[in-house]
Amino acid sequence: MLQDIACEVRGHLGNGKVASYIPELKKVPKTKFGMAVHTADGVEVSVGDAAEPFSIQSISKLLTLILALCRGGDEVWERVGKEPSGTPFNFLAQLELEKGVPRNPFINAGALVVTDYLRQKVGAVAPVVRDYARVLTGSDGIDVNTQVAMAEFAHAHKNLAIAHLLRTYRTIHSDPSTLVREYCNQCALEVSCSQLARLFLPLAAGGFSRILGETVMTERIVRRVNALLMTSGVYDSVGSFAYRVGLPAKSGVGGGIVAIAPGKCSIAVWSPGLDRSGNSLVGTLALELFAQRTKLSVLG
């Protein structure tokens, strides 16, 4: 089935735009496509460029949120909300209008708050995120691409503005420049499709990790994270994504998307060409076809 989906989307490869505001990502060919599925009972299948590492970017927000909830419980919600934003991921006006409290942890303002919260708990966040990804995938080769991180920080003017605004309202406690640099480092983590599907399989398995043979997050955290993915995980196109795919998912401007079929499997796709909202154009199509053929959409 994955081979059929890969053939069906092939004619769309090259469409969309890469994230050109991050120079290193601009170099990635738009013709790349990978897809991997890991089932809750241990079956792993993949197709295309599923073994090639790519920059996960905003998918790292999902990792930091899980870490924050595992280490601090509901305390993180004192500084960030749980509602869809309906605006682009780096939108400033809404943040100021709502007195420095981000709508959710998956827009940039909310992610910066979560990273700031984790810095108080663990110190440097990027190495913790990297090590957590290594443990949950069983892969020691996962690492941060320092060139991508440096290039991203050099062009992080909007994120610095967001961080300064958050600091003005005392929503964060870190120095804005230090926090944004940390955030750029976590976003520059490189993971393949196969590793990405394995990494987030616990969200499809009630918190159980087959790699570790133990529960790594509570069912309560799993339910709440999946709910947030459904309502806020794909920037300002959650409605159209739910309409087409019907699965909780998190995307990144590196072209990756990870989707969760609760109780069944995790699915990861990667194709660098992005739609207007910053989601992988071909990746979204591949997930739509997968949901239709498996009938795993939570919408039936």
Strands (E), the chain: 34-39, 44-48, 54-55, 143-144, 189-191, 208-209, 214-215, 249-251, 256-261, 265-270
pLDDT tens figures, 233-258? 998 899 999 999 999 999 999 999 99
Q: Cα–Cα distance between 11 and 127 in angstroms, integer?
A: 39
Kindly calculate the radius of gyration of the chain based on its CA atoms and give it in whole angstroms. Answer: 17
Q: What percent of the chain has pLDDT over 90?
A: 88
- Kindly report whether the global pTM for this prediction surpasses the value 0.85: yes
Is 2-293 a domain of CATH 3.50.50.60? no
For residue 286, with 0-12 CB atoms within 10 Å meaning exposed, 13-18 middle and 19 or more buried, which class applies? Answer: buried
* DSSP designation for 72: H
Show the CA angle centred on residue 214, arms to residues 71 and 217, nearest 5°.
Answer: 30
pLDDT tens figures, 18-72? 988 888 888 899 999 999 999 999 999 999 999 999 999 999 999 999 999 999 8
Q: Cα–Cα distance between 145 and 151 in angstroms, integer?
A: 10
Q: What DSSP line would sit under 30-45, residue for residue?
A: TT--EEEEEETTS-EE
Per-domain residue ranges of the chain: 2-293
Identity at 54, one-letter amino acid code: F
